[in-house]
Amino acid sequence: MENTSVNKTKSTREFNPKLLWYYTIGVIVVWSLFICLSLLWHHRTMNDGVLAAAKIEARAAFQNHVVYRSWNAVHGGVYAPITEGTQPNPYLDVFERDIQTPSGVKLTKINPAFMTRQVNELAFEKYGYLGHITSLNPIRPGNKPDGWETAALKSFEQGAKEVSSVHIINQHKYMRLMRPLITETGCLTCHAKQGYKEGEIRGGISVAVSMEPHLAINKSTLKNFAFVYFSVWLVGLIGTFFFITALNGQIQKRLIAETELHRHEKMEGVIEMARAVCHELNQPLQMILGNSEIIMLDNIDRQTLIKRVGLIKEQVGRMGKMTRKLIKITNYETKEMPQGKVIDIDKSSR
Ligand code: HEC
């Protein structure tokens, strides 16, 4: 005899379909956030790149100044014809500052700082580069530093090698960069009288290069990347859509299958009960029928009649007992019979 007890586990029928859409919204929000943050991070990295590139350009401009200035200093200054734009330097106090060639051309000595001022003018006219030679202790009052340069020069005296930052000049972004000018042997020809020694900081040159070309490249690159990020985002979104649709299909299928199974189980229970009742009622009904037929015979004596009616009463009693048991059924216990699985009324009504 085999006993079966039904043990219900959590089924798909308890699944709330709204939950699937909450998950979907959650996935989309997280995915969009991830893409936005990635693009933001990329943008920041690219901006750092722009700063680095502008600094390299500014450093190169500074180094150019240092190189031609050294060349000038090595010669202790160089002569150039006196013109409207190149007048003798009143701050240059050297022997034979102004001379004349045998044919009568007037020449004046150009010291490195004078040359730098002229080169700066030219660089600004040609390329928009800004440059300024300065010192905390200027010989020429026009060379005095501005606020930013003063702070930079002071930091060089504390050991800093370079100062740079982004400035808005004439509504354009510029990278300003300043480095110190160190007193070399050649410089002492003119600067020894101010008490400078080799290796000391004489002053500095500040340069400013426009960041616009770098920013323009950045902008177009970012546009391309934004398109790539958008495409990746879209692919993710479409993927999520297909995945959720497929998942929803699977869940619906399972739901239908489970409902079908449940119906089948119920039907089975009904059949098992019907079989059990038929089986239990069959025997008493047969006996009641047989005894009724005997009673109905013509020549039956009183004693047999009483005996037969007694037998019928006994079967009716048996049927009554069975009905009372049926009312008390609280359990689902089955047993195997030749006609198939039936409810075990005795065990189920205990
Ligand atoms: C031929 C003389 C001469 C030589 C060589 C020379 N200087 Fe000067 N320097 C001057 C004069 C004059 C000034 C001030 C006027 C001016 O701006 O031209 C000056 C100005 C400067 C300034 C600007 C601040 C100020 O004092 O007005 C700095 C910085 C400077 N010199 C650094 C140097 C360094 C570094 C060297 C060596 C590489 C050097 N100079 C070599 C004559 C010279």
Distance CA 115, CA 65 (A): 10
What six digits make up the tokens of 146? 């501005």
Dist. CA 87 → ligand 1 center (Å) = 16
Is pLDDT larger for residue 1 or for residue 211? Answer: 211
Task: Please report the atom of ligand 1 found closest to the CA of residue 114.
Answer: 18
**What is the CB neighbour count within 10 angstroms for residue 166?**
13
Q: Which of 68, 121, 140, 146 is the best mutation target for the ligand 1 pocket, counting ligand atoms within 8 Å of the beta carbon and taking the most?
A: 140
**240-261 per-position pLDDT tens digit:** 999 999 999 999 999 999 999 9
Mutational pocket test of ligand 1: of 140, 191, 197, the residue with most ligand atoms within 8 Å of the beta carbon:
191
Residue 139 in contact with ligand 1 by CB distance below 6 A:
yes
Q: Give the pLDDT confidence of 293-331 residue by residue, as tens digits.
A: 998 888 888 898 999 999 999 999 999 998 898 888 888
Confidence category of residue 16, pLDDT binned at 50, 70, 90: confident
Q: Which residues contact 280 (CB under 8 A, 6 or more apart)?
A: 322, 345
List the residue whose alpha carbon is closest to atom 37 of ligand 1: 187
| Residue 244: both structure tokens together | 């959720």
- More confident of the two residues 336 and 99: 99
- Is residue 149 within 8 Å of residue 216, measured between CB atoms? no
Tens digit of each residue's pLDDT (9 = 90 or more) over 166-203:
999 989 999 999 999 999 998 998 999 999 999 999 99
Per-residue confidence (pLDDT) for residue 8, from 0 to 100: 44
Per residue in 127-178, pLDDT (tens digit) is 889 999 999 999 999 999 999 999 999 999 999 999 999 999 989 999 999 9
- The reported pLDDT for the residue numbered 6 is 46
Q: How far is CA 140 from CA 20, 137, 246, in A?
A: 78, 9, 81
Span from the CA of 194 to the centroid of ligand 1 (angstroms): 11
275 within 8 A of 337, measured Cβ to Cβ:
yes
Residue closest by Cα to atom 36 of ligand 1 = 187
Q: In which band, very low, low, confident or very high, does the pLDDT at 339 lie, cut at 50, 70 and 90?
A: confident
Counting every residue written for the chain, the total comes to 350
